[in-house]
Amino acid sequence: MIIERREVEFEAEALMAVVAGSPRAAAAFGLARGQPQAVIFEPTSQSVRFVFPGGGHAHSVLLESARLGALLVSFCLRMRMPLPRKAEKSIRVEPGMVVLAFRTASRPNITALLPEEQRTEGAPASQQAWGH
């Protein structure tokens, strides 16, 4: 089995920009319009609290990881960031960041490969790139 992993990290500043730059998506997830004044990471509950300014006092909205993941995937697609389509997706909230993770597994078709003894070309490009 060959496993490919990819992670995209969003720190507080990036999360605030995602919310401010995606007003319709943010509203669909119950977030206020505009840029939050703070982001509070809550790793124990795997959620993020967005704090918005308001009148005389701030109010906050808690977004659990599943909804946050949907918001971030939507943002990445809008930004035309290449994301693997057929990947297992997961999200985790860590102190100071949210990590959007992708995992793709594939089985190589070994029988379709020619034995090395039957190859006519020189060393594979990958071998040359690694300096062997």
Alpha-carbon torsion (79, 68, 12, 15), positive or negative: positive
The answer to whether position 74 is within a domain reads: yes
pLDDT at 59: 86
Residues 6+ apart with CB under 8 A from 63: 29, 30, 31, 47, 48, 49, 50, 71
Any domain includes 113: no
> Does 123 map to a domain?
no
Q: Is 132 inside any structural domain?
A: no
Choice between 92 and 111, residue whose per-residue pLDDT is larger: 92
The answer to whether residue 121 sits within a structural domain is no
In this prediction the pTM is: 0.76
Looking at per-residue confidence, does 111 or 87 come out higher?
Answer: 87
3-state secondary structure of 105: strand
Note whether residue 56 is domain-resident. Answer: yes
Range of the structural domain that residue 72 is part of: 2-106
The predicted-structure confidence for 99-119, as pLDDT tens digits, reads as follows 999 999 988 777 766 666 665
Is residue 124 assigned to a domain? no
In a domain, 127, yes or no: no
For the chain, what is the domain count?
1
